[in-house]
Amino acid sequence: MINQRFRQKLIDLIPVRRLRRLLSYHFGWFPHNYVQPDVLISSIKNLELGGNVYIGGCGAKLCCEGGIKIGKNTAVGEGCFFITTNHNYKSEKAVPFDNVGLKQSIEIGNNVWIGARSKICPGVKIDDGAIVAMGSVVTKSVPKCAIVGGNPAKIIGWRDKELYEKNASLNNTFDLSKEWEWITVEGFKEYLTEGKI
């Protein structure tokens, strides 16, 4: 049987994106991940995708030296930056840091949505069903079904856990092979109030 990486490379040779997607779904050759062509990935051998993962382009970068694991049914928006390395600024030998690189993995759970232009720092775990608002800088781990936003990211809300569990148990997930349907939402959000997010 042909191994998964070889099958992926064969499909990637097809120049028409829609045809690549249809073939992968039709034959079930690999776990239906879609990474935009302009996503930059360093140390790709340390990247693990769980299936039905979408990673948007427009300058998105995944630095996988410390390892990145992304669970199934997860969407990563355009221009996101995942970094798994840091400098040793606590060195007694040099400032601002020495020549020792620190590696720490990132783990993203299942059914996670990471908004465009978000930054995920080393050593962060984002649990199942979480949502990261666009432009957030995630410096600490995120609990299940939390909605986080800001710099540094803080919990700003919670997903409906009952609805989440229902959809997750029925495997109701987004379908990468379907076209988007857009619906206009009327009205504006509340005004900002001082001292509140």
111 Cβ contact partners less than 8 Å away, ≥ 6 residues apart: 71, 72, 73, 74, 128, 129, 164, 168, 173
Fill in the amino acid letter for 159. R
Give dist(CA 74, CA 136) in Å, integer. 17
Beta-carbon neighbour count of residue 154 at 10 Å? 12
CA dihedral 85, 52, 40, 88 (to 10 degrees): 0
- Structure-token pair, residue 29: 């050759």
Is the separation of the CB atoms in 87 and 102 below 8 Å?
Answer: yes
Instruction: Say whether 54 sits in a helix, a strand or coil.
Output: strand
- Residue 32 annotated in active site: no
Q: Percentage helix, strand, coil, to 5, in the chain? A: 15, 25, 60
Among 9, 17, 18, 87, the active-site one is 87
Fill in the amino acid letter for 39. V
54 pairs with which residues across the strands?
Answer: 34, 75
Name the residues annotated as catalytic.
87
